[in-house]
Structure 1
Amino acid sequence: MKRTMIAAATVAALAAPAYAELEGDLSLTYHSQYNYRGVNGILENALGTDLTEDTFETEINAAYKLNDQWSLVAGGTIHSLTDTSVDHDRIRGGVRYTTDCYTVELGYQSQDFRTVLGNLDTSEIYLNVGTQCPLTGADVNLFVAHDTDMLEGTYAELSFHKGWEVAENATFGVTAGVSYSFDYWENLIGTGSDWNHGYITLSLAYQATENLTLTPYVTFSQGFDALDATSTVGPGVEEEDEITYGLKASVQF
């Protein structure tokens, strides 16, 4: 039923009329492995490998322009694990300021992990700053989220993305990132402030139609000390390196 609803929503987005003030995207992504801010091996240990493999993520993002610089933004995500009764859901809303040089977004995000991690239902205030590196032309992005509820910590991630057109309607992209946790996982797995994880993603975005883009990807992720559990799921459980892959279908509106 859930996948039928996703397909119907995609068709509706394709058929939706265009409004000058409203823009966004609706996407469906297949992931070979569930991954959240570098965490995958810990969840495999806690939930069982089968539950964390072959997951589907449905996401919608929208921005309503107030003027040339300011926009109201909102989004929602349903990340369904193999057992479709197990979801990680997110809802966010905020405000975005855009200039020729950079973009700043400040907002609030609610996260529901209850079917994944017991009774964990939490929220956070986030800041997202994006610009372009003058030396390489790469897109630089800094994301900072402070959890105000269950986790009571801060997660920060710095990433770089560069794309090259390799054929008509096809762009090869490289994204690399590294993150740091400030007591972010303390209440969950008993670790404190430290480097969280690093990753590199290779992707190939193909614009199939004016609004539809298909993007296969492969990601190498390496967990660092902040993801070495000392409690809850058991001492000695560590995040090691992992390769994941997937396919994203995105519709612009």
Structure 2
Amino acid sequence: MADTLDERWGVRVDSCERIVMSGGNALAWVGTPSGRLLAKWSVVPGRFSRLAELARLTTWLDGRGLPVSAPVPARDGRLQAEVDGVSMGLQRVIEGDLLDTADPAQVRAAGAALARLQDALAAYPDAARPPALAVACEPLTQRVTSWLDARAEHLPAAARDVLRGLVTAAPPDRLPRQLVHFDFRSANILFADNEVTAILNFEEAQHDHRLVELARAAILLGTRYHNWGPVPAEVRTEFLAGYQGRTHLAAVPGSAHDPGM
């Protein structure tokens, strides 16, 4: 790792604070003459093209003023370098603490940050660039019906019947789909002075409805690395208030960025 950073980025590693490995990926926090950096690499070739696309995406978001961790270009200008069967990227360490869902101000700010991020992702010009980011999804009504058929046994029968009736009576699925982050939760949101300093980890980015991402984030907002349980109702209320303070669901742009329609 140190040799690659020296050769490809011209960065000398003076120290390594820690290395974390998971699922074919590794991250190393390193000290360099220019400050703390984060090296991230993968040994799974099937992910390499997607990692390159995500590096371009975060660079574009950074250029539009979004709080993301943009990659540091290598000497040859590439954002993701492939060396000896490894794909590696480099970022600057952004200071901050993980989102605290016990702080209503942070929860509201997170809701507003998600709305702003979705607005930006809807305008991303390479959102349908194959094969890395163009992921299709089933119509929303079909997804709810499939869930009711296979995974809703824990709900009271009356509640299942009401929801099934609403889905059956719903008009054709015409909600726009767009590129979304899809892993918006405490582990990936950094705060400092009650402001979002970074939205991290775009590796789950895909095409879906803004509403689906909003619902998922509202439930899993407090999740860090374990205990994937729902946050309390009052946290969801604050989060939604922050989101709707920035954008209204009824006013979401139409089909211009909807590859599935």
Smaller-chain TM-score bracket: under 0.3
Structure with higher strand content: 1
Larger-Rg structure = 2
The higher relative CO (CA closer than 8 Å, separation ≥ 6) is in 2
